[in-house]
Structure 1
Amino acid sequence: MKRVAVNPWGWSVKLGYNQAEVFEGASRQVICAGQTAVDAEGRPQHAGDMRAQIDLALDNLEAVLAGAGMTLADVTRLGVFATDVDAALKNFDLMGKRFGPHQVAPPMTLLGVTRLAVPGLMFEIEATAAA
């Protein structure tokens, strides 16, 4: 799969994402449900700890992708939801630590929400991937 970044302006690249990407030659696409900080039984973890919730949500996203035979390198779009955008942004270095080694910066939307589906959860990430 060929992947070409589209960035008419450079500011988003400094924040870790591209404005758009053009994909050619992809033959499979995976659409992941939102991943949160839950354990294998779906129980919320790390109440009140945004950093730990982001880290576990990313672990869960990687597990779902692995189940589909993909990695973070294959992610083509992200949707991120946080009950506290400022707290999420303070911990976005975790996103760079996960996506950076794959040298990808998928287009992303970050939205502040009043709550997520399960009380106590503060961060949710959904992804589309292609290979």
Structure 2
Amino acid sequence: METRSINPWKWQDQRNYVQAVEVKQVAGTLYCSGQTAISADGISSDADMDTQLTEAIENLEKLITEAGYECKNTVRLNVYHTDTAAFFESFHILQAWIMKHNIKQATTVLEVNTLFETLKVELEATVVK
């Protein structure tokens, strides 16, 4: 697999994403459903944004690795949250995970009115190999 980042500008570099990712010679593509802070028993978290974002990342990473893929090959990451201010206060948690895996992904971040039950953040990814 070969990837190429396309960045007509430089400002996104400090925000840990790219404007577009081209992928060639793909051996597989994993389309992940939105991952949230739901326990292995199916219980939705009612914790704060920091805790829920951490749990959503852990669930996403578990899904990716159990499917036989690597987090570093995430090419698209959509983030849905219910509170812009709270999310961006917690954004360093997501940035740390992105930097840990050297991910160069195209990203969309959206505030939504509600998510399932008591959830505050949801991560949807596309991963290639």
| Pairwise same-fold verdict (TM > 0.5) | yes
Aligned ranges 1:13-92 → 2 under 5 Å: 13-45=13-45, 47-92=46-91
Partner of residue 120, structure 1:
118
Query: Secondary structure, in 3 states, of the residue corresponding to 2:61?
Result: helix
Partner of residue 97, structure 2:
98
Partner of residue 128, structure 2:
130
Query: Is 1:110 the counterpart of 2:117 in the alignment?
Result: no
Note the alpha carbon deviations across 1:48-91, whole angstroms, 9 max, x for none: 40000000000000011011101211211011100002211111
Normalised to the residue count of structure 2, the TM-score between the two structures is: 0.95
Rounded Cα–Cα distance in structure 2 between residues aligned with 1:26 and 1:90: 36
Rounded Cα–Cα distance in structure 2 between residues aligned with 1:81 and 1:53: 12
Q: How many residues align?
A: 129
- Over the matched positions of the two proteins, sequence identity in percent amounts to 32
Show structure 2 runs of 5+ residues with no match.
Answer: none
Query: Which is worse superposed, 94-103 or 19-28?
Result: 94-103
Rounded Cα–Cα distance in structure 1 between residues aligned with 2:110 and 2:84: 7
Structure 2: which amino acid aligns with 1:17?
Y
Partner of residue 4, structure 1:
4
Normalised to the residue count of structure 1, the TM-score between the two structures is: 0.93
Structure 2: which amino acid aligns with 1:97?
A
Large movers: runs of 4+ above 3 Å? none
Deviation at 1:13, TM superposition (A): 1.5
Query: Secondary structure, in 3 states, of the residue corresponding to 1:36?
Result: coil
